[in-house]
């Protein structure tokens, strides 16, 4: 699913109006029907009191149309239309006239003084003040209205986007002047801002409503942002030949673990084996050899010279991919060995955890990574590579720049993990859940990605497919164990079912 900048949404509307063809007021009515239906499904008690706050633009027109449609279903509606400049958009004006004395609606047009209603916990506020076209923070009277809504105990439903929130970059926005919605009903396509953690208090739960904008225009318009859906990754899964043998599915090398951190290498190794690799060797310090051999008998081990850590680069000529970082530690000898390993490696690498932290001290070596490599930082690990970021938007932009300059793919981990290509394209993942925020979850992802690279998947496909399946396994684990009780080991155990679902 494409995610367009908010500046492109008007183009989609205009193309639909011209080529369907359909009048803009009728397109607004179509959107309002979808909105009213979604709202009535959530609050099916017609005794629920609704208060609609409508602005002077088309977002306000949507809100007025929704008020009329809900009143027609028997709901009690109070409407506040803010027209302080005496200038409504044509479609907002038309929907104002359509309200004309309808039963079930108490209508107020605010031209100067606003006497706010008494909002209780029983009320539902419909926020239609401003839509996605906003390009500066709210101020003055509108900021005061937003603060009043936020201070109330009422439930809040935002139309398309919470008023005051900008669709992409909110770096210079004013947090107190953004509506804090419980539910956002976004029209046709989500906004990039919905995928950023700091915006969650404003967006709340978001639901996408299809309002019939031109599929042709959506297909033709370009964007760098996508939301990954099952159909985007299912077809990328390779089928296995009946006469295949383990040599056909790649040899992988996993460099992981240090004293006290054997578990990271075990989780990554198990995930790699559960993701179809033909042969796996785990490079371990001597102290972890017995643990790995016992916990993961399907893997071979290669023992480091050091008793306790990774201390020297190893030959990678016999492997198709290398994973490095889980539980590696940050000792001086490991730091030197990592640099030597990067310099000598000629096959794609998955770089995670402590390997990323060590690279933060040697950023120039990012450009030495083999072609087709994947970095898997969480936000703090990324900031060690690119510098401090004030919000998720800036972090994403810096990650895109790093992917371009280092010619690597980056998996920026989070609730909507982003797979970022050197060309700047970003695919946001839709699988996964908060139960995966547990120690070892990232090690599991490293193992999955390593297995895919070793099997010959290109970096982009490996990253998109691996992130999706990792989250899918997490969802399966959550259904079995619950989000609170699940562990990274449960994600590993759920990988076979996740892959089976993908095959199906």
Per-residue pLDDT at 216: 96
Per-residue pLDDT at 235: 85
Per-residue pLDDT at 504: 82
Tokens coding 89: 């958009």
Short-list 274, 275, 268, 241, CA closest to 455: 275
In order of their start, the domains of the chain are: 2-223 (3.40.50.10260), 230-503 (3.40.1190.20)
Per-residue pLDDT at 101: 81
The model carries a pTM of: 0.96
Per-residue pLDDT at 48: 97
Q: At what angle do helices 488-503 and 441-454 cross, to 10 degrees?
A: 40
Contacts of 258 (CB under 8 A, 6+ apart): 285, 288, 308, 309, 310, 327, 328, 329, 331, 334
Which residues are registered as beta bridge partners of 196? Answer: none
- Tens of pLDDT along the chain (504 residues) come to 999 999 899 999 999 999 999 999 999 999 999 999 999 999 999 999 999 999 999 999 999 999 999 999 999 999 999 999 999 999 999 999 999 889 999 999 999 999 999 999 999 999 999 999 999 999 999 999 999 999 999 999 999 999 999 999 999 999 999 999 999 999 999 999 999 999 999 999 999 999 999 999 999 999 999 999 988 898 889 999 999 999 999 999 999 999 999 999 999 999 999 999 999 999 999 999 999 999 999 999 999 999 999 999 999 999 999 999 999 999 999 999 999 999 999 999 999 999 999 999 999 999 999 999 999 999 999 999 999 999 999 999 999 999 999 999 999 999 999 999 999 999 999 999 999 999 999 999 999 999 999 999 999 999 999 999 999 999 999 999 999 999 999 999 999 999 999 998
Sort strands 105-110 and 124-128 into parallel, antiparallel or unpaired.
unpaired
Instruction: Give the H/E segment covering residue 232.
Output: helix 230-234
Q: Which residue has the tokens 């990323």?
A: 356
């Amino acid at each position: 699913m494409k995610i367009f900048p908010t500046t492109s949404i008007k183009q989609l509307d205009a193309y639909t109006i011209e080529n369907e063809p359909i009048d803009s007021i009728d397109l607004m009515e179509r959107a309002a029907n979808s909105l009213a239906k979604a709202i009535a499904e959530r609050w099916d008690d017609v005794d629920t009191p609704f208060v609609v706050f409508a602005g002077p633009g088309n977002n306000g027109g949507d809100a007025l149309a929704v008020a009329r449609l809900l009143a027609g279903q028997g709901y009690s509606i109070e409407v506040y239309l803010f027209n302080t400049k005496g200038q409504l958009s044509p479609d907002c004006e038309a929907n104002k006239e359509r309200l004309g004395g309808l039963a079930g609606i108490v209508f107020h047009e605010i031209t100067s003084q606003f006497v706010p209603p008494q909002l209780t916990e029983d009320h539902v506020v419909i926020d239609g003040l401003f839509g996605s076209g906003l390009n500066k923070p709210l101020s003055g009277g509108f900021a005061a209205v937003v603060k009043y809504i936020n201070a109330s105990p009422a439930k809040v439903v935002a139309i398309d986007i919470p008023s005051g929130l900008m669709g992409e970059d909110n770096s210079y926005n004013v947090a107190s002047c953004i509506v804090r919605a419980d539910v956002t009903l976004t029209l046709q396509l989500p906004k990039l801002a919905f995928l950023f953690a700091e915006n969650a208090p404003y967006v709340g739960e978001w639901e996408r409503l299809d309002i019939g904008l031109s599929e042709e225009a959506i297909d033709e318009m370009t964007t760098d942002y996508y939301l990954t859906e099952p159909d985007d990754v299912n077809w990328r899964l390779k089928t296995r030949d009946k006469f295949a043998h383990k040599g056909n599915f790649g040899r992988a090398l996993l460099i992981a673990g240090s004293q006290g951190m054997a578990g990271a290498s075990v989780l990554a190794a198990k995930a790699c084996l559960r993701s179809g690799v033909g042969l796996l060797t785990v490079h371990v310090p001597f102290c972890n050899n017995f643990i790995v051999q016992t916990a993961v008998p399907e893997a071979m081990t290669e023992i480091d010279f050091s008793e306790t850590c990774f201390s020297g680069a190893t030959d990678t000529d016999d492997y198709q991919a290398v994973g490095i970082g889980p539980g590696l530690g940050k000792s001086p000898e490991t730091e030197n060995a990592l640099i030597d390993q990067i310099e000598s490696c000629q096959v794609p690498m998955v770089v995670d955890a402590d390997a990323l932290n060590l690279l933060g001290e040697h950023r120039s070596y990012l450009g030495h990574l083999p072609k087709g490599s994947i970095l898997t930082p969480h936000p703090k690990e990324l900031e060690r590579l690119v510098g401090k970021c004030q919000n998720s938007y800036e972090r994403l932009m810096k990650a895109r720049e790093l992917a371009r300059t280092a010619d690597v793919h980056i998996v920026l981990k989070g609730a909507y993990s982003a797979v970022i290509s050197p060309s700047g394209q970003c695919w946001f993942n839709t699988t996964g859940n908060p139960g995966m925020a547990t120690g070892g979850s990232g090690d599991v992802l490293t193992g999955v990605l390593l297995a895919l690279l070793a099997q010959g998947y290109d970096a982009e496909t490996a990253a998109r497919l691996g992130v999706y399946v990792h989250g899918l396994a997490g969802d399966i684990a959550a259904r079995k164990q619950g989000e609170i009780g699940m562990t990274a080991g449960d994600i590993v155990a759920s990988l076979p079912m996740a892959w089976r679902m993908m095959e199906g």
